[in-house]
Amino acid sequence: MSEQPGDTQLSLLDKISRIFLDVPSDRNELIELLKKSHKRNLFDADAFAMIEGVFEVSDIQVRDIMVPRSHMAVLDLEHGYEEMLSVVVDSGHSRFPMIGDGRDEIVGILLAKDLLRYCNLDERKNFDIKDVLRPPIFVPESKRLNVLLKEFRTSRNHMAIVVDEYGGVSGLVTIEDVLEQIVGEIDDEHDDADAANIRRLGINRYSLKALTDIEEFNEYFGCDLSDEESDTIAGMIMRHLGHLPKRGESVQIGRFLFKVMSADSRRIKHLQMVLLPVPTKAAEE
């Protein structure tokens, strides 16, 4: 019997439907089903890691990934054009909170590109920062990332100011910060290759380069991870797992929960680390 048009498509649909024949009753079962599908080479490791990331953003709060207030690059409303331009050039960022009397008074968001029109000295005579400021968006620390991402998309904003329960500024979060939870670390041509190896993202959450020396890690966190068999965090993780981990894999070593955010076929590049609470004596018993 000859094959009818559309038979190939129906065959593929049939294969997919067989995978989901047993409908998962919860998210954990769905993740397990996706793991089995990945093992059957229906999609690659990067796709699986991104699918996991999509699920995880509904569990992560803004406070977990925000740039802390102390690390925010801000501009002062009282500064002149040259001072603002200097901060913009030195930081390499594209968006800046504009503060008034202090860091708790965010009066607007400045886009670096809006300063370009005033590079001409004649145009600079008419420079008034209030003409180019965008209204700031404020979000609470407890907002879930999936909700924030939807708000970013609908409002076309790329940055939000994070406030605590008392209305004080506790940090900022960008759309890139949210997307990195899904697709992994995003580096662009402006990222400094010599930037700090360890960067605090939020409460007990850190980003670190995989080639960070264990000695530097121990000094930063006041711990004593062994560096006898490995010099770097990447080496320690691979030795602990017994293989080169793929993006999305996690491993706990002591109080440190590491997750691979970026890796290729030869090495780990970026990690996220959560500092777990010290177990109490009662919990250990």
Q: Residue 78 belongs to a domain with what CATH number?
A: 3.10.580.10
Structure token digits, residue 266: 């030869």
The DSSP secondary structure of 52-107, one letter per residue, reads: HHHHHTTT-BHHHHPEEGGG---EETT--HHHHHHHHHHH--SEEEEESSSTT-EE
Mark whether 114 and 206 lie in a shared domain: no
Domain end among 121, 148, 181: 181
Per-residue pLDDT of 110-132, as tens digits, reads 998 888 888 877 777 788 888 88
Phi-psi region of 156 (alpha: psi -120 to 50; beta: other; left: phi over 0): left
Q: Which domain holds residue 125?
A: 62-181
pLDDT of 2 > 70? The answer is no
Kindly tell me if the per-residue pLDDT of 1 is higher than 70. no
| 59, 259 Cβ separation under 8 angstroms | no
Pair (176, 196) in one structural domain:
no
Q: 161 in a domain, yes or no? A: yes
Residue 52: inside a domain = no
Residues 167 and 195 in one domain: no
pLDDT of res. 49: 77
Classify residue 149: in a domain, yes or no.
yes
Residues 24-47 as b/e (b if ≥16 CB within 10 A, e otherwise) read eeeeeeeeeebeebbeeeeeeeee
The pLDDT score that the predictor gives to residue 163 is: 93
Can you give the pTM of this predicted structure?
Answer: 0.63
pLDDT averaged over the chain?
A: 81
Q: What is the dihedral of CA 60, 145, 31, 268, to 10 degrees?
A: -70
**Could you tell me if residue 168 is inside a domain?**
yes
CATH number at residue 213: 3.30.465.10
Handedness of CA 176, 145, 254, 170 (dihedral sign): positive
State the average pLDDT over residues 158-186.
87
pLDDT in tens, 10-50: 555 565 555 555 667 777 778 788 888 878 888 777 777 77
